[in-house]
C-alpha cells in the first residue's frame, strides 16, 4: 500500500499541474458579460472611431475591471510577462482616452487584441 501511494501521489500532482497550466484558453473566456475583455475592446474601438470620449472613459474602466477578473483566473496558466503587457496597454489606453488621443488609443486597442490572441499560445 505504501509503495502504491509513493507512485500515485506524485503522478496525481503532476497531472493536476499540467491541467492547470493548459487551462488558460478555457479560463480566458468570459463566464459572464462583465468579463468580456474583447467585447469591451470592440466597443472601445467604436467609441474612439466616433470620438465618443465620454463612453470611452466608462468602457476603459469596465475593460480594466474585466481584465482584473480574467488575469486572476489565468495567472498560473500563462506567462507573467503577457499579463504585464496587457496591464501596460490598458494603463496607456486610459491615458490616451483621457487625453482624447485617437491615434494612441487605436494603437493600444489593437495591441491589446494582439496580446490577447497571443496569451495562450
Q: What is the pLDDT along the chain (121 residues), one digit of tens a residue?
A: 778 888 898 999 999 989 888 887 788 888 898 999 999 999 999 999 999 999 999 999 999 999 999 999 998 888 999 999 999 999 999 999 999 999 999 999 999 999 999 987 7
Q: What CATH number is associated with residue 112? A: 1.20.120.290
Q: Which helix (H) or strand (E) holds 27?
A: helix 24-27
Cell numbers standing for residue 96: 490616451
pLDDT at site 84: 96
Domain total for the chain? 1
Domain that holds residue 22: 2-118
Instruction: Find all residues with CB under 8 Å of 86, minimum gap 6, and list them.
Output: 67, 71, 112, 115, 116, 119
DSSP string, 61-100: HHHHHHHHHHHHHHTTTS-HHHHHHHHHHHHHHHHHHHTT
pLDDT at site 50: 96
Amino acid at each position: 500500500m505504501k509503495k502504491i501511494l509513493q507512485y500515485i501521489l506524485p503522478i496525481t500532482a503532476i497531472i493536476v499541474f499540467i491541467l492547470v497550466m493548459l487551462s488558460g484558453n478555457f479560463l480566458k473566456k468570459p463566464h459572464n458579460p462583465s468579463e468580456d475583455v474583447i467585447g469591451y475592446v470592440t466597443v472601445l474601438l467604436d467609441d474612439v472611431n466616433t470620438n465618443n470620449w465620454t463612453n470611452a472613459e466608462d468602457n476603459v474602466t469596465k475593460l480594466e475591471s474585466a481584465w482584473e477578473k480574467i488575469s486572476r483566473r489565468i495567472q498560473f496558466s500563462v506567462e507573467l510577462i503577457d499579463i504585464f503587457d496587457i496591464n501596460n496597454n490598458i494603463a496607456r489606453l486610459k491615458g490616451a482616452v483621457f487625453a482624447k488621443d485617437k491615434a494612441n488609443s487605436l494603437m493600444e486597442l489593437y495591441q491589446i487584441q494582439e496580446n490577447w490572441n497571443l496569451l495562450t499560445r
